[in-house]
Structure formats: structure tokens, C-alpha cells
Amino acid sequence: MNRKWERDLGLQGRMLFTMFLLAVVYLSFLAFLSYYGTSQIFMILFIGLFMAVQYFYSDKMVLWTTGAQIVSESEAPQLHGMVTRLCAIADLPKPQVAIVRTQVPNAFATGRSQNKAVVAVTTGIMDKLSPAELEAVLAHELTHVKNRDMAVLTIASFLSTVAFYIVRYSLYFGNMGGDRRREGGGIMLVWLVSIVVWIVSFLLIRALSRYREFSADRGAAIITGQPANLASALMKISGIMDRVPRDDLRKVEGMNAFFIIPALSGSSIMDIFSTHPSVEKRIAKLEKMQQEMS
Amino acid sequence: MGFRNFMDAVLGRSRLPKAKSDRLFAISTASITLEGSLGLKPSGSAGICFKPLGATSYESAQKEIEELLEFSSKETETEFRMEKDEFNFLWAIFKDPNFEDLVANIHLVSQTLEDRGFGEQILCAIYRFDSEPEARVAKEKARGKAAGGVAVYWIYNFKQGTYYPFIPLSGRQRDSPFEFRLRAEMEKEMPVEKNVEKWYPLWGIPF
């Protein structure tokens, strides 16, 4: 049996390469910092505190800021049923299930480990999608849990955050102590390097996040066995389908003179900055999987 | 966007895009994939739609087309008819089990109009395919919809030089999920319009 669709070596390769680049950037950054001996004790304390907060409280913070409420099995039996079934297929401990009361169609997963995970959906997404599509979305979120994406991205973005704080505050701290004339140049250099580290790692993390997104799509397709379900869910959520016109071509033909300037397509640079790949790209990949499976 | 478009914008000139018929033929090879891997059979009908002008030279061009078609359709054994629709657009509609002959006849019309300087009057060419009921039933069941054989149209936009799918459902609805699926599967084989905002429907296609 051809199980080609289960793996995407290209994607995994790109992901590894991005992580490698990120590691190179971070290691050079650490080497640079220690070379200049920038108040190491302060750095370590700062880093430790930050890591602990992020690691232990990020899930609670996410739930709190989104207003998601954990629901029990009796409150949302169907949703729980779906999650239970998907977890059985994906071999995952069942996460907590939460609902956000908003019409915005969305879903997310959070939690530092597979055992502490929470999967949340909005009431809007439950209204908008068919059960099969909702299942595909839940499978996508569960794949994030299975792949430990929260932990991976927290760790990956951690030093980037440190660099950001150095950029932001080092000029204050640096100027407080003693010999300004000699230290001044050094601090400027630390500051510049931090900026570079911050920007480069920012872009790399964005890339990594996009790859994880593709992986989660892929996982969802494998768990549900129906890539097309996630594809149509994505199209519904993003409103792409609403962009298809309903006016007759013969009716709008008279206005065609105004259509000469082509609409700008928003690829290229914006792609680099976004955490999620464009929906069209994700759908295209899912469609390709569907083809390979059938 | 080139310099000319820029100058047009600056000077407020509006220019109708010229017809691009070079990529019209892409449907010939694409039809093999459409039938082979997507279960979309050419229905044997196709048409080209254009906007009639009042000018006498245009009327003579129209006459010429009709005469040419009488002649060529006899050769390829293609049935053809001309029809005017509610929007006052003219249609040349062909019926032929041989897909290549359909494409050839459509090209003959567009070429004649272009040669006589009426390329801008061409609206679109449309090829009809029928989705096989069985394949369709399985798919519809998976989506939880009512099953049934459906007409799938591929519309060639001469202004853009691209094709796009159009699957009308009852009540002026269209099957967008299926249209998007077709785009995904056919993108590599034919020039499919990328901007979905240009996927204008034609309600009540007369074939």
C-alpha cells in the first residue's frame, strides 16, 4: 500500500534547516554575549524567571486572555465525544476542552505538554462548520498538541525575546555603571547585535511556525483520513469562498474598463512575516494529499 | 503593470484589454485529465459568447462567421447554432462528440473576430463537462449533501487568457468547494485564473 502521503520529507527538511539556523543564530548570540561579559548573573536570573513564567503559565494566560471556559462532558457532550474519538486515533491523552463565546470562527490548542493540554473552539466555528469539518479542525489542533508545538515555539522564541529585551533596555542598564567612555562603544555593539539577532530569529520563528502549521494540517488529514474536510473548513473560516462573485459576467462586462489595473496579489514579503501560511497554500497542500490518497 | 497602463491611469484613458486566445487550446490536453482522474466527461457541447455591435462592418463579420461555420461544421460534422440571450449577447453553440473539433470551431470564431478587429467584443468561451454520477455520489455523501449529476463548466476568459470553473447549483448558488478543488487539481495542467474574484458566473448558459 502506498503510504506516501503520511510523510512530507521536504517539509521536515525545511523545518530542521530552520531550527538549525535558529540554533546558529542563538549560539553565536550567546557566544557574543559571554565574550562581552554583559552582566551574566543578571542575564541568567532574567532568563530563568522568564522561562519559568512562560513554561508554567502560558496556557493559563492564553485561556485568560481569550476568555475560554473549560467545559465538562455534560455541558458539551458532542464536542467531548469528537475529541475523545480523535485522541483515541491519535494516541493522545484526552486534553481539556474549552469554549470561547464569540462569533469569530476560530480554534486553538495550548498547554506545555500533552498531559496539560487544552483544546478550545469558539461558538462561531461550531455554528459555521459541519461536524466533519469541525472534526478536521479539532484534529489539526490535536496534532499541535501531539507535535508539542507550544513547547517547541516557546523555547524557540525564548532567546528572541531575550534579545528583544536587551534591545529595549540595555541602553538604560548599560549607562548606569561607571566608566561610560570605554563601555559606551561596547554597549552600542551589544545593542546592534541584539537587534540583528532579534530580527533574524523573528523571521526564523515565523518560518518555523508556518511549517508547524503545515504539519498540523497534514496530521489532521491523516487522523481524519479526509484532507478535503479540513480544506473546506479552512475555506469557510477564511471567507475565501465568499470572494467568488455571484454577479453575472455579462452584467459586469460594461465595467471591465475599470478593471485594467490588476489586483495586487499579497504574496512575497507579507509571507515572511506571518505566522500562518496563506490559507490558499494550505488548501493546495491538502488538495494534493487528497489526490495522493485517492 | 507596465508603463502603458501607468500612462493610461495618469491620462484617464481606458482601454479594453485585447483578447488573448493563445491559451485557449490548453483545454484540449486538460480534458484528458479531467476525464481520467476527476471523472468529468466532456458533454460534447461548447460555446463562445460575444457582444454584438451595431456597426455594418461588424454585421458583415458576423455573416462571415456564420458562413465559415456552415462550412467548417460540415467538415467536422459539428452541429452548430447561433443564439441571442437576455443580455443581448450572441452565442455560437456547438455540439460534437469529438472534443478537438469543438475547440477548433471555437478558435475559428475567436480568430475571425480578432482578425476583423473585434477581438474586444469576445466575452468568453465555455466548455461543458458532466460529472459522473457515481463519483459524485460518494463525494456528496462525504460532504453530507444531496447527490446528483451536475454540469461543470470551464469558462475561458479572453481578456485574462485564463480558465476558471463554474458549477451552478439550483437557485443561483454555485458549488464553490468543488470549484476550488478543481482549481487545485488542474492548476498545473492549464492556466487557471488565480484571482477568484474574477470567477464571474454566467447564469443560464444555453447548453
State the pLDDT confidence band at A95, using cuts at 50, 70 and 90: very high
A264 in reach of chain B (CB within 8 A) = no
Candidate from A52-66, A109-123, B4-18, B88-102 with smallest mean pLDDT = B4-18
- Alpha-carbon span B41 to A95, nearest angstrom: 47
- Alpha-carbon span A101 to A180, nearest angstrom: 55
Inter-chain CB proximity B87 and A265 less than 8 Å:
no
pLDDT above 80 for A231: yes
With respect to residue A258, please indicate whether it lies within any of the assigned structural domains.
no
pLDDT above 60 for A5: no
Mean pLDDT, range A184-196, rounded to an integer: 75
- Alpha-carbon span A45 to A48, nearest angstrom: 5
Cα B121 to Cα A6, B5, B50, B86: the distances in Å are 50, 20, 6, 17
Candidate from A72-81, A182-191, A257-266 with smallest mean pLDDT = A257-266
With respect to residue A7, please indicate whether it lies within any of the assigned structural domains.
no
Residues of B in contact with A284 (CB under 8 A): 184, 187
Residues of A in contact with B172 (CB under 8 A): 246
- Nearest CB partner across the interface for A283, out of B37, B180, B203: B180
Mutate to test the interface with B, among A133, A235, A244 (most CBs of B within 10 A): A244
**Tally of domains in chain A:** 1
Asked if A102 and A122 count as a contact pair (C-beta separation under 8 A), the reply is yes
Q: Which residues contact A293 (CB under 8 A, 6 or more apart)?
A: A5, A225, A227
**Vertex B152: Cα angle to B125 and A282 (nearest 5):** 105
**Which of the two residues, A116 and B43, has the higher pLDDT score?**
B43
Asked if A233 and A129 count as a contact pair (C-beta separation under 8 A), the reply is yes
* pLDDT score recorded for residue B120: 82
A–B interface: beta-carbon pairs under 8 A = 93
Q: What percent of chain A has pLDDT over 90?
A: 17
Counting as low any pLDDT under 50, the low residues of chain B are 136-137, 141, 144-147
Number of neighbouring beta carbons within 10 Å of residue A183: 15
**Which of the two residues, B147 and A165, has the higher pLDDT score?**
A165
Candidate from A137-146, A156-165, A269-278, B14-23 with smallest mean pLDDT = A269-278
* pLDDT score recorded for residue A158: 73
The residue among A79, A237, A224, A220 whose CA lies nearest residue A140 is: A220
A252 in reach of chain B (CB within 8 A) = yes
- Check if A213 is active-site: no
- Nearest CB partner across the interface for B200, out of A247, A265, A288: A247
- Alpha-carbon span B43 to B151, nearest angstrom: 9
Task: Give me the residue label for grid cell 473585434.
Answer: B118
* pLDDT score recorded for residue A111: 79
In our burial notation (b when 16+ CB lie closer than 10 A, e otherwise), range B63-96 reads eebeeebeebbeebebebeeeeeeeebbbbbbbb
Asked if A286 and A226 count as a contact pair (C-beta separation under 8 A), the reply is no
Inter-chain CB proximity A257 and B89 less than 8 Å:
no
Inter-chain CB proximity B184 and A252 less than 8 Å:
no
- Alpha-carbon span B162 to A267, nearest angstrom: 20
With respect to residue A282, please indicate whether it lies within any of the assigned structural domains.
yes
**Which of the two residues, A67 and B164, has the higher pLDDT score?**
B164
Residues of B in contact with A288 (CB under 8 A): 184
- Alpha-carbon span A103 to A127, nearest angstrom: 8
Which residue among the candidates A75, A133, A135, A141 is catalytic per the annotation? Answer: A141
Asked if B24 and B160 count as a contact pair (C-beta separation under 8 A), the reply is no
Mean pLDDT, range A33-43, rounded to an integer: 65
What is the SS3 assignment for A198? helix
Dihedral class, residue B127 (left if φ above 0, else alpha if ψ from -120 to 50, else beta): beta
Residue A81's domain comprises: 21-242+268-293
State the pLDDT confidence band at A104, using cuts at 50, 70 and 90: confident
Dihedral class, residue B84 (left if φ above 0, else alpha if ψ from -120 to 50, else beta): beta
With respect to residue A8, please indicate whether it lies within any of the assigned structural domains.
no
A182 in reach of chain B (CB within 8 A) = no
The residue among B82, B103, B79 whose CA lies nearest residue B21 is: B103
Residues of A in contact with B5 (CB under 8 A): 260-261
Provide the Cα torsion A218, A222, A226, A228; round to 10°. 10
Mean pLDDT, range A245-266, rounded to an integer: 59
Inter-chain CB proximity A256 and B159 less than 8 Å:
yes
Kind plus residue range of the DSSP H or E element containing B165: strand B162-166
- Nearest CB partner across the interface for A246, out of B172, B185, B194: B172
* Euclidean distance between the first and the last CA atom of chain B, given in angstroms as a whole number: 37
Residues of B in contact with A287 (CB under 8 A): 181, 184-185
With respect to residue A136, please indicate whether it lies within any of the assigned structural domains.
yes
With respect to residue A156, please indicate whether it lies within any of the assigned structural domains.
yes
Inter-chain CB proximity B202 and A240 less than 8 Å:
no
Residues of B in contact with A256 (CB under 8 A): 16-17, 159
With respect to residue A93, please indicate whether it lies within any of the assigned structural domains.
yes
Q: What percent of chain A has pLDDT over 70?
A: 74
- Alpha-carbon span A75 to A69, nearest angstrom: 11
Mean pLDDT, range A128-134, rounded to an integer: 89
Nine cell digits for residue B7? 500612462
Cα B194 to Cα A117, A274, B100: the distances in Å are 39, 21, 26
Sorted by where each starts, the structural domains of chain B and their CATH numbers stand as 18-193 (3.30.70.1130)
* Euclidean distance between the first and the last CA atom of chain A, given in angstroms as a whole number: 12
Nine cell digits for residue A77? 457532550
Phi, psi (rounded to 5 degrees) for B152: -115, 120
* pLDDT score recorded for residue B147: 44
* pLDDT score recorded for residue A220: 92
- Alpha-carbon span A25 to A204, nearest angstrom: 10
Residue A277 DSSP class: P
Inter-chain CB proximity B144 and A251 less than 8 Å:
no
Phi, psi (rounded to 5 degrees) for B42: -60, 130
A265 in reach of chain B (CB within 8 A) = yes
* pLDDT score recorded for residue A246: 83
A258 in reach of chain B (CB within 8 A) = yes
Chain A from 183 to 212: CB within 8 A of any B CB: none
